[in-house]
Amino acid sequence: MSEPEYYYRLEDGAGLIYLRKFLVHSKTRCGVWLNIYPRQIKKRFVVNGARKQFACPTLEGAIESFRARKIKQLKILKHSVELIELALIKLNERDWYEEDNSWLLDDKITLSGRTK
């Protein structure tokens, strides 16, 4: 009987990094089916050679995938912080506020944006 094959994924939470191992259920010419939960039937398909994979066949690949996910997550969060800071600056400057609700009262504009 052959030795079981595993795929790897790193995940984080509460300041810790966890290594998850997924048993390969079956292989196809396009990828592998992984058992996600040991005692349940739920499986996940991983495409061979895909740029982004749920899990990787090597621990080194899982580490690189985790690093790429965290760098992308950090970029997204930094951008969100920049937008929040900008909104607070604008709020404090008070030069952003312009009340012009005249378009709400214009009966020539329909919901489709076309004039009557």
pLDDT digits (tens, 9 = 90+) for 43-98: 899 998 888 899 999 999 999 999 999 999 999 999 999 999 988 888 887 766 66
Closest CA to 70 of 60, 62, 58: 62
Residue 33, both tokens:
């089916």
Strand order in the sheet with 31-35: 6-13, 16-27, 31-35, 43-47
Instruction: Please provide the average confidence, as pLDDT, over all residues in the chain.
Output: 85
Q: Enter the pTM of the model.
A: 0.71
Confidence tier at 109 by pLDDT (50, 70, 90): low
Closest CA to 6 of 17, 64, 20: 20
In whole angstroms, what is the distance from residue 104 CA to residue 101 CA? Answer: 6
**Cβ pair 59, 48 in contact under 8 A:** no
Candidate from 7-21, 36-50, 61-75, 92-106 with smallest mean pLDDT: 92-106
Q: Residue 84: which residues within 8 A CB-CB, separation 6 or more?
A: none
